[in-house]
């Protein structure tokens, strides 16, 4: 099933995203073939991590690191969503194989990747991570993250927001 996507930002604007900017709105299909709508996350902390391709070594390390740190991230009030150009079926297979306790999003046309400015070689996503606040603004972002350390850095940033009362 083709991904249904709506993106509210242009590629030019997305290349300049920074903390404080509104997170580009979008819908995408999940690994369970349901619709994810970022707007429905209003009032909640959302971690969006972009990665090149499911099943590759770095992407597997990153997904498993988020899996292993999920309990801590959820205790900090956030939910994680991984996104790549992979199909719904590929995302489902990857999620099941590695027992991922979070949702993967399919962006086969690259519209969300373009909106967030993460497009890299051959249209694959770069490895970037965003924390979207309850007001749907970008609160934190990292480019070219280390796949092994990304989940720990996200947890640290979320702890910082809690200390600030943000």
Report yes or no on whether pTM surpasses 0.85. yes
Instruction: Judge whether 77 and 111 are in contact, CB under 8 Å.
Output: no
Position with higher pLDDT, 4 vs 121: 121
At residue 77, the pLDDT reads: 96
Domain holding 42: CATH number? 3.40.30.10
Residue 138 lies inside a defined structural domain of this protein: yes
Q: In the predicted model, what is the mean pLDDT of residues 82-95?
A: 98
Instruction: Judge whether 131 and 139 are in contact, CB under 8 Å.
Output: yes
Which residues partner with 47 through β-bridges? 80, 131
State yes or no: pLDDT of 11 exceeds 90.
Answer: no
Total number of domains constituting the chain? 1
Domain that holds residue 99: 11-164
Residue 5 lies inside a defined structural domain of this protein: no
Q: CA–CA separation, 147 vs 150, rounded Å?
A: 5
Among residues 14, 38, 47, 59, the one annotated as catalytic is 59
Each residue's pLDDT tens digit, 104-157: 999 999 999 999 999 998 889 999 999 999 999 999 999 999 999 999 999 999
User: Is 64 a catalytic site residue?
Assistant: no
Residue 82 lies inside a defined structural domain of this protein: yes
Does residue 13 sit in helix, strand or coil? helix
């Amino acid at each position: 099933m083709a991904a249904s996507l709506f993106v509210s930002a242009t590629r030019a604007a997305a290349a300049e995203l920074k903390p404080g900017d509104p997170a580009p709105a979008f819908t995408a299909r999940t690994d369970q073939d349901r619709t994810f709508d970022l707007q429905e996350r209003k009032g909640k902390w959302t971690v969006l991590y972009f990665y090149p391709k499911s099943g590759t070594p770095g992407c597997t390390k990153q997904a498993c690191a988020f899996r292993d740190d999920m309990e801590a991230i959820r205790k900090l009030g956030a939910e994680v969503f991984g996104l790549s150009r992979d199909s719904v079926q590929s995302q489902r297979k990857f999620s099941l194989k590695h027992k991922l306790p979070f949702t993967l999003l399919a962006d086969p046309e690259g519209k969300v990747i373009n909106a967030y400015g993460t497009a890299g070689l051959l249209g694959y996503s770069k490895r970037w991570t965003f924390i979207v606040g309850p007001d749907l603004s970008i609160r934190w972002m990292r480019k070219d993250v280390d796949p092994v350390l990304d989940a720990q850095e996200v947890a640290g940033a979320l702890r910082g927001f809690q200390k600030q009362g943000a």
